Structure 1
């Protein structure tokens, strides 16, 4: 009896089969391993480089120490007798190093000298300013300004021959100081007297105080002449040292301003800083 023919079924593979997921994990692991190996190698190289630098520095220090020990030994009689040391060469090298170091130390103070120069320059500026103040002292001298009306504060004017510092200003008969200190204040007033007047002629120098009564600094009196002449000239002069603050103002007043004589050099008012 004939059996029907059937083809032989394909035989399954005998070995285990690797899945794609496993291959992917294996590749990732290999890549991570390579990266870690590279980083580790780089860190090791860096560490080795730093270690080498430190060893070179240590060896350099050791060489310096050994060289100094040789110099020290060569400076003794025993070292000169030793045949293992070339003391002439060692001492010559040491002297060369000292010369180089000396040149560096000579060049180094340049900045300090420059700083000292700047300091002396600023000091010189201050000395120049002080010298300028000595050449141009803080002072003012004013001549009387004629006024026919009776006034409570005598008026003054600048003259070409008299000093007038920028640190002293003039405002409506008053001198104002722009720098505090000790000042000598002075004034002279010449006046024309008449025998018919019995009251004395009085000269006042006041410190102007805007918020309170003015403070009297100096006061001078002179009686009228008994001469029968129509007008007999007399004068009062006074002066003193006072401590003034910045912004203080002083002025001059008399009992009767219509009797003041304004001839050249007769009536004046001024101050200067001590």
Structure 2
């Protein structure tokens, strides 16, 4: 007896195979996503670095143009607009420094700028002339013997803020040439044989004081109880910032402090 032919039913993949296929596809997608993200990040960093390199290169080229415009060859070149380049560079300096005290390294002074700078210097000099750096002090009476004569300010004499007074000494706050002067009136007697001597010293804290000026006056032949005389000295000296000067005499107890007779002063030339 013949049996009818029936085709075999197709076999379906096993569940384990399906799970492996799905896991492989998922791993591939995850790996592809991670790789794409890392590549995008690398590309972004590379572009940033290229932009920074190009920016530095542009800055270097600009500075080279500025430097070249400082030379006569650069001004003669028809390929460079030096006025525009220097103007841009000065604008950048003003924005960046906000009026820096230091002079820019690459700077071109036009005639107008030079005249403006000269005008400012003349204005400063005129202000200094209106307010001279000077001080004039009157003697302060002291009954005991002192090694440094003491002084006081007077209402009629100039006193600059750039000259200060410290325990009988005048201190200069600005270096330069100064005229230093002093006069001391004193009482002398015929019985006194030693001369009365005036000294003006430069004060040096770490070494012996330096003698700048010296004045002598011999004793009087008068028979009066006290014969008034005076000795004066003055000269020009170059002082540094912070230097101090003071006055000393052989016998401070003989100094006469009447108005206008004993004084000490200094002024900048």
**1:107-153: CA deviations, max 9, x gaps?**
99999999987876665444322211011111111011111111000
What corresponds to 1:4 in structure 2? 4
The counterpart of 1:261, out of the listed 239, 256, 263, is: 256
Closer, same or farther in 2 for the Cα pair 1:157/1:46, shift >3 Å?
closer
**1:142-183: CA deviations, max 9, x gaps?**
011111111000000000100111111110000000011111
What corresponds to 1:14 in structure 2? 11
Closer, same or farther in 2 for the Cα pair 1:49/1:221, shift >3 Å?
closer
SS of match in other structure, 2:260: coil
The answer as to 2:110 corresponding to 1:110 is no
Closer, same or farther in 2 for the Cα pair 1:88/1:107, shift >3 Å?
closer
Closer, same or farther in 2 for the Cα pair 1:30/1:135, shift >3 Å?
same
CA distance in 1, matches of 2:72, 2:234: 86
Asked if 1 retains the 8 angstrom alpha-carbon contact of 2:67 and 2:106, the reply is no
The two structures, once aligned, show a CA RMSD in angstroms of 12.5
CA distance in 2, matches of 1:76, 1:243: 40
Q: 4+ residue stretches of structure 1 with deviation over 6 A?
A: 1-9, 13-16, 19-119
Closer, same or farther in 2 for the Cα pair 1:43/1:132, shift >3 Å?
same
1:76-155 correspondence to structure 2 within 5 Å: 124-155=119-150
What corresponds to 1:186 in structure 2? 181
Unaligned runs of 5+ in 1: none
- Which TM-score applies when normalising by structure 2? 0.59
CA distance in 1, matches of 2:245, 2:41: 83
Comparing 128-137 with 71-80, which one deviates more in the overlay?
A: 71-80
Asked if 1 retains the 8 angstrom alpha-carbon contact of 2:70 and 2:108, the reply is no
Aligned length: 269
Deviation at 1:41, TM superposition (A): 26
Closer, same or farther in 2 for the Cα pair 1:25/1:134, shift >3 Å?
farther
